Chain A
Amino acid sequence: MSLDGRPKGRPSFYPMTFARPTMLSVFPLVALLSMAVPAALSFPQQSFDEIAQRADSARTADRVTEAIALYRQAVQLRPSWSDGWLWLGDLLYDQNRFSEAQDSFTHLVAITPQPGPAWAMKALCEYEMRDYAHSLDDLETWMHGGLQGSEGLADVATFHRALLLTREGRFDRALHLLTERAQRRGESPLLVEAMGLASLRMPNLPGDYPPGLREEVWLAGKATFYLSVQELERGQDYSHRLLAEYGQQPQVHYIHGLLLEAQSKSDEALQDFHTELQIFPQNSEAMLEIAGIDIDNGKLDEATILARRAVQIDPANPEAHHVLGRVLLAAGQTKESAQELQSAARLAPDNAAIHLHLATAYQRLGRKEDAQQEMTTYFAIRKKKWPDRSESMKTRNTSHSPEAPQ
C-alpha cells in the first residue's frame, strides 16, 4: 500500500468469486467457439487468443507498457472479455492513469452483472478524476453489493467513501467510517486531516479548503483521532490547543466535551456541550450528548426537550431517535419510546444498542415475542462485530463508537 493508501503492486482485490484470470479459463471456451464458427471467422478468434496470452505473459513479466497495449488490442477484439478489462484497468490504475483506467472499469461494470470490486475501482478512478458525485454513487452501489474485494480494496474504497460523505455533509457517517479506520490502521496525516474536516463539519476534501483553516483542521483532526483510539491524554492536549485558538468556532467545544466525557468527566463535559450550543445553537449532536448525560442524572425534562429538538433538526439521524427513545423509556412513556426506537432501528439496523433498548420497551409493553426477536438481533449484531469479546463488555458511549448508525 502506498503512502496515500492506494492499492499498489499486483492486484489484490480479487475475492474468491472473482478469480484471477488465467489462460486456462479462456482456452476451453475458445476451443468450443472455434469449432462452432465458420473457418473464415475463426481467424480473429485465434488472434485474440494469441494476443491475450501475450498480454498475460507481458503482465506477469512486469512489462507493463507492452501488457497494456496488448490488453487494449485484446478487448477491442473481444469486448466481452471481462478479465482483459480488469487487468487493463488495474495496470492503468497502478500507473495513476485514472482517466484511462476509469474507461476500462466502465466497460467492465457494463458487462459484469454483480456490483463487485470493479465498481469500487471505477469509483476510485472517478474520485481521482474529480467526478465526485459518480464516485460516491458507485461506492454506494459497491457497498450495497456487499463490499466485495480484498481487505486492501475495502479499506481504500471505504476511506474514499468517508471523504466523499464529508464533502456531501454526511459527517456522522463519515466519522464512523474514519473512526473504524483509525482503530484498524492507526494514524496517518491524511486520516487526521479527514477526521478534522468531518469533526468540524466542513464539507471539503483534504487539501481543498482555505489555507487559513489548516491549523484548526489539524488540531481538530488530532483531537478526534486520539479520541477514536482512546489515547485520551494526547487528544486532550490537542483539544486544549484547539479551544485556546478557536474556542469561538462551532464544534470546538463539542469535541472538547467528547474527550472529557470519554474520561468520565461528565460535569465538565456538560459545560462544554452547553457552551457549544451557545456558539452553535443548531448543534444536534451536542443536544444529544447533554440528553444522554441528563438521562444518567435523572434530568428527564431537559433531556426530553433537547432530544426532541435534535430529532426536529436532524430527522434522518438515527441517534436522535435513539436518544429520544431512551429518554421516553426512562420517563415511562413506553409506547412513544418504542416508536422512536423503531425509527432509529429502521435508520440504523446494525446498531446493536438500539435493538437492546427496543427489546426493553417491548418487554415493558408486554410484547414478549417482539422483545425476544430484538434480543436475538442484538446478540447477532454483537457477535458479528465482536466475535472474540464477551457479550457483557460495555459498549462505548461516544457518538463515534462502532455502534454509530449506518
Chain B
Amino acid sequence: MISILVPALFSLALSLPPQDASPPSQSANTAQSSGAFDQLAQAAKQAREEDRDDSAIDSYRQALLLKPEWDEGLWYLGTLLYKKENYFEACTVLRRFLAQNPGNGYGWAMLGLSEFESHDYTRALNDLQQGITLGLGDNRTMIAHVRYVNAVLLTRSEHFDESMALLFTLLTDGADASSLVEPFGLAALRLPFLPSEIPPGRRELIHMAGEATMAIEARKYEDAEKIFSDLEAKYPDQPGVHFLIGAYLLSAHPDDGIREMKQEIEISPAHVPARLRLAEEYIKRQNLDQGISLARETVSIAPDEPLAHMVLGEGLIAKGDAAGGMRELEAARDASPDMVRVHWDLVRAYTAAGRVADADREKSEIERISKQDEAR
C-alpha cells in the first residue's frame, strides 16, 4: 500500500498547503521588503511548480537562511525533501515548521511519515497519532495512508488490539483489501513486525491469518473456518495459530475454543493472552476453581501483567473472596490506570462492600478515561 500511495502523497503534499501553513501576513510583508529573499522565494516557487525539485530545494534552503522562520518555505522544503527521499533532513525541517505551527495536524502527519521512513518508529507513531488527533482535513488519500502507517506501527510496538481495530476501520472505509492482508495477519498472530520485516518463510502463514481475520470481519464465517482449518493443518505447531483460532471459536463454538487455547498453551506454556482468555472462559462458565487456578498461575508467570491480576480479581470476587479479589483488581488498576473494565469491576466490588467513597472515586476515573478517549 505504501508504494501505491506514495506518488499520490507527493502530489498532494506539494499541491496542497497544510491547514495553517500559509505564510502569516506579517511575514509576507517582511518578505516583500527583502529583495533578495523575494527573488529566492519566487525562484523556489517557480522551480517547484515546474517540478525542478533540486533547484527548488536549493532556493528554499537559501531563502530560509535569510528568513529562518518562513512557514511556507519550511513546509515546501520539508515536503520536497520527503519527495526526494531525504527523510532525515525532512524531519529536521518539518520539526522547525511544527515549532511554529503546533496545531497543524497535516504537518505532524508529514513528520510522522518522514520519521517512519527514517526508521525512527517510536517517534513516528507518536507524531502520526498527534496528526490524527489534530485532524488531517479532508484529504482522504492522506488520511488513509496515515492511518495505515499508524496501524502497522501499532503492531510493531505490540499494540496488537489497537492495530486490529484501526485496520477494521480502514477496511470498512473501503481501503484496498489486498494491502491490509499482511497487517491483519501480523496483528492477529501477534507478531510485531512491519510488513517489510516479514521473514520469507512466514509470508504464507501471515497471509492465511490475515485472510481469515478479514473473512470474519466480512462475516464470511465459512470462509474463515475453511482458512483456519488449512492453517491448523499446515502450521499445527506454530506459536499464535491456535490462539488466533481459539479466540474466534470462543465466541462461535466455545468448547472448540477451549480446546484451541489449551493447544496454544501446550506449544507456548507462558502464552499470557491464551491463558487469560481461557481463564476468562472458565470463570464465565462458573468453573471458578479452574479459572482462578489458571489466572493465579498466569500471575506467577507474568507478575507485572495487569490483565492477569484483573482476571484473577474477577474470578476471586465471583468465588466470594471479595478482599482477595479487590486486592488483585487494585493491583491491575495501579499498574494500568486506564483500563475501564477494571474500574467497573472495582465500582461493583466497592459498592457491594459498602465502600461508597471508593466506588465514587472509581466512577470519576471512568469519566476521566471517557473524556480522554473522546479528546483523542
Contacts and interface: CB of A to CB of B under 8 A. Distances in A.
B200 A212 contact: yes
Contacts of B272: 234
B96 A214 contact: no
A64 B269 CA distance: 52
Contacts of B120: 207
Nearest to B191: A215
A77 interface: no
Interface in A212-235: 212, 214-215, 218, 229, 231, 233-234
Interface in B314-372: none
A90 to B, nearest CB: 14
Contact of B95 (A65, A96, A187, A211): A96
B302 interface: yes
Given A211-B194, A215-B197, A218-B193, A237 B122 contact: no
Interface string B62-98: 0000000000000000000000000010001001101
Chain B interface size band reads: 35 or more
A241 B301 contact: no
Contacts of A65: 99-100
B206 to A, nearest CB: 11
Given A95-B99, A130-B88, A186 B122 contact: no
A236 B271 CA distance: 11
A189 interface: yes
A107 B100 CA distance: 24
B99 to A, nearest CB: 5
A129 to B, nearest CB: 8
Interface string B269-303: 11110000000000000000000000000000111
A296 interface: no
B304 interface: yes
Given A95-B95, A231-B302, A237-B269, A190 B122 contact: yes
B95 A3 contact: no
Given A3-B126, A99-B92, A207-B121, A233 B301 contact: yes
Interface string A52-86: 00000000000011001000000000000000000
B197 A214 contact: yes
A388 interface: no
A339 B95 CA distance: 56
A3 B199 contact: no
Contacts of B304: 186-187, 229, 231
Contact of A214 (B88, B98, B193): B193
A36 to B, nearest CB: 36
Contacts of B88: 130
Nearest to A234: B270
A264 B192 CA distance: 31
A218 B200 CA distance: 16
A233 B270 contact: yes
B302 A234 contact: yes
Contacts of B122: 3-4, 189-190
Contact of A237 (B158, B197, B268): B268
11 contacts: A3-B122, A96-B123, A207-B119, A211-B196, A215-B193, A218-B192, A231-B303, A233-B269, A234-B301, A237-B271, A241-B239
Given A3-B122, A215-B202, A231-B270, 10 more contacts: A65-B100, A95-B98, A96-B95, A206-B121, A207-B119, A214-B193, A218-B192, A218-B193, A231-B302, A236-B269
